[in-house]
């Protein structure tokens, strides 16, 4: 009997060792694990560290985990950040190991950061992966910088690009575009120059479908086709003037491969309108997807909005129709599910140190959807 036990134990050990040293099998097992677990497993052995550290493994893992339910990075104050997971209702302080960091954008696990105090002219710009803690300093001309956008889609390429809009040397009203390619680690300046009178928009663009989209002044959507280096503008009349509504808080948001325009109508009942962007037969158009009253949702929890609402993000479920809106009112983070009309309180913020009565704890530009990723920088 003892011999049988020893034999079984030996066989089990041998099988485990065989798996541990058979790269193809080991890779398939490791690909199922979350990114933070993978990083810890680098310490198992030199062989595991070498295998996990390859760019091919990082890319395969990123592809496997590119569409999880996103979390959020929230900024409560300058240099004070929190991590919030809506599914687990997990709320923890989040550390960015940079001096005076400001998040410009979050894109498939990578962050675009501006670092340096507001009084400093010598600010630095980084692409940063907070999961692996790897970063790359983007060396660029900062004096004429108008805006930066990050373009990264692991389903298309393991490499990312950074689009830089800056004013030209001969006029502040003339703009030019430079593109950084992480594969070649070089900047390329485009020949075409364009005019713009609204410089604020260039740090508020959305990456979607191989392009960067900005809401321009008036009734225009400005888009930059990254693959073909083409800048175009298209009318957004269906969004801004439908039914003669007076609209504000206009935001573009990307969610699981779809782009939405979120509008907040300031009336006696705070109304949210969500439009979806669709491209059919070379025709681009927006159409109204959902409408909902913030005040009615807040009232169902015995709360009031006090006219203060911050839209944090739109989350898509397993099916495209399962669309949910995560938003913030003073003291609360709530979710509203468009597909079934249900709502839920995700987080009570009234006990946190930075809570102020009837005040928002996070603004729209203080919430960034985020997923953990091994994507290299």
Do 241 and 291 sit in the same domain of this protein? yes
Residue 77 counted as domain residue: yes
Tell me the pLDDT band of 246, cut-offs 50, 70 and 90. Answer: very low
Three-state SS at 252:
strand
Confidence (pLDDT) at 1: 46
Q: In what order do the strands lie in the sheet with 145-151?
A: 145-151, 161-167, 174-181, 186-195
Do 164 and 280 sit in the same domain of this protein? no
Pairing relationship of beta strands 174-181 and 186-195 according to DSSP bridges: antiparallel
Do 190 and 253 sit in the same domain of this protein? no
206 or 284, which is more confident:
206
Confidence (pLDDT) at 195: 76
Let me know how long the chain is: 377
Mean pLDDT is lowest, of 29-33, 224-228, 255-259, 324-328, for 255-259
Distance CA(234)–CA(338), nearest Å, equals 28
Q: What rounded mean pLDDT belongs to the chain?
A: 84
Do 122 and 90 sit in the same domain of this protein? no
Confidence (pLDDT) at 2: 47
Tell me the pLDDT band of 98, cut-offs 50, 70 and 90. Answer: very high
Helix extents (H) in 279-358? 294-300
Confidence (pLDDT) at 329: 93
Is the model's pLDDT at 155 over the cut of 70?
yes
Do 167 and 223 sit in the same domain of this protein? yes
Confidence (pLDDT) at 241: 46
* Number of independent structural domains in the chain: 3
pLDDT tens for 143-153 read 788 899 999 99
Distance CA(278)–CA(284), nearest Å, equals 6
Q: Roughly what angle, to the nearest 10 degrees, separates helices 23-30 and 55-64?
A: 40
Do 83 and 106 sit in the same domain of this protein? no
Measuring CA to CA, how many Å separate 178 from each of 144, 224, 328? Answer: 12, 12, 36
Confidence (pLDDT) at 266: 61
What token pair was written down for 67? 């569409």
Is the model's pLDDT at 43 over the cut of 50?
yes
Tell me the pLDDT band of 236, cut-offs 50, 70 and 90. Answer: low
Tell me the pLDDT band of 343, cut-offs 50, 70 and 90. Answer: very high
What token pair was written down for 155? 């389903």
Q: Roughly what angle, to the nearest 10 degrees, separates helices 2-20 and 23-30?
A: 80
Q: What is the 3-state secondary structure (H, E, C) of 343-370?
A: EEEEEECCCCCCCCCCCCCCCHHHEEEE
39 or 240, which is more confident:
39
Residue 375 counted as domain residue: no
Give me the domain span that covers residue 198.
97-228
Give the end of a domain, one of 171, 206, 228.
228
pLDDT tens for 321-336 read 788 999 999 999 999 9
Do 159 and 204 sit in the same domain of this protein? yes
Do 131 and 248 sit in the same domain of this protein? no
Do 47 and 149 sit in the same domain of this protein? no
pLDDT average, residue stretch 289-312: 89
Confidence (pLDDT) at 94: 95
Residue 146 counted as domain residue: yes
Cβ neighbors of 13 (< 8 A, separation 6 or more) are none
Residue 216 counted as domain residue: yes
Is the model's pLDDT at 109 over the cut of 50?
yes
Residue 374 counted as domain residue: no
Tell me the pLDDT band of 157, cut-offs 50, 70 and 90. Answer: very high
Tell me the pLDDT band of 23, cut-offs 50, 70 and 90. Answer: confident
pLDDT average, residue stretch 301-315: 89
Do 298 and 359 sit in the same domain of this protein? yes
Confidence (pLDDT) at 142: 78
pLDDT average, residue stretch 225-241: 75
Residue 348 counted as domain residue: yes
Give the end of a domain, one of 170, 204, 228.
228
Q: For the chain, what percent of residues have pLDDT higher than 70?
A: 83
pLDDT average, residue stretch 72-89: 93
Do 307 and 346 sit in the same domain of this protein? yes
pLDDT average, residue stretch 290-294: 88
CA-closest candidate to residue 126, choices 116, 136, 140, 139: 136
Distance CA(306)–CA(359), nearest Å, equals 9
Confidence (pLDDT) at 55: 87
Distance CA(315)–CA(70), nearest Å, equals 7
Is the model's pLDDT at 169 over the cut of 50?
yes
Do 242 and 365 sit in the same domain of this protein? yes
Residue 376 counted as domain residue: no
Mean pLDDT is lowest, of 10-19, 201-210, 293-302, for 10-19
Tell me the pLDDT band of 268, cut-offs 50, 70 and 90. Answer: low
């Amino acid at each position: 009997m003892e011999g049988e036990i020893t034999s079984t134990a030996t066989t089990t050990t041998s099988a485990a060792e065989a798996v541990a040293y058979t790269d193809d099998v080991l890779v398939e097992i490791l690909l199922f694990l979350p990114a933070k677990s993978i990083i810890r497993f680098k310490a198992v052995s030199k062989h595991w560290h070498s295998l996990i550290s390859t760019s091919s493994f990082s890319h395969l893992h990123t592809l496997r985990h590119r569409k999880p339910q996103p979390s959020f990075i929230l900024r409560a104050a300058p240099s004070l950040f929190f991590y919030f997971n809506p599914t687990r209702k997990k709320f923890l302080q989040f550390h960015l190991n940079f001096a005076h960091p400001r998040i410009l954008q979050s894109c498939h696990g990578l962050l675009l950061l501006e670092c340096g105090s507001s009084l400093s002219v010598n600010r630095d710009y980084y692409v940063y992966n907070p999961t692996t803690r790897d970063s790359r300093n983007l060396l660029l001309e900062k004096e004429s910088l108008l805006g930066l956008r990050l373009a990264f889609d692991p389903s298309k390429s393991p490499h990312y690009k950074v689009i830089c809009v800056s004013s030209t040397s001969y006029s502040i009203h003339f703009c030019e575009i430079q593109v950084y390619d992480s594969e070649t680690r070089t900047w390329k300046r485009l020949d075409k120059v364009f005019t713009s009178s609204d410089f604020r928009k260039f740090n508020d663009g959305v990456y979607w479908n191989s392009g960067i989209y900005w809401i321009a002044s008036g009734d225009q959507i400005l888009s930059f086709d990254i693959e073909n280096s083409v800048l175009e503008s298209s009318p957004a009349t269906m969004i801004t003037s439908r039914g003669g509504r007076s609209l504000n808080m206009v935001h573009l948001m990307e969610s699981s491969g779809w782009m939405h325009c979120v509008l907040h109508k300031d009336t006696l009942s705070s109304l949210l309108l969500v439009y979806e962007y669709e491209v059919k037969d070379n025709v681009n158009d927006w159409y109204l997807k959902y409408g909902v009253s913030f005040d009615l949702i807040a009232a169902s929890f015995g709360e009031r909005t006090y006219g203060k609402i911050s839209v944090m993000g739109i989350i898509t479920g397993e099916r495209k129709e399962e669309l949910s809106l995560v938003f913030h009112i003073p003291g609360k983070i709530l979710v509203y599910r468009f597909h079934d009309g249900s709502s839920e309180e995700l987080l009570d913020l009234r006990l946190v140190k930075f809570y102020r009565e009837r005040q928002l704890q996070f603004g729209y530009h203080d919430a960034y959807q985020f997923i953990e990723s091994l994507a290299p920088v």
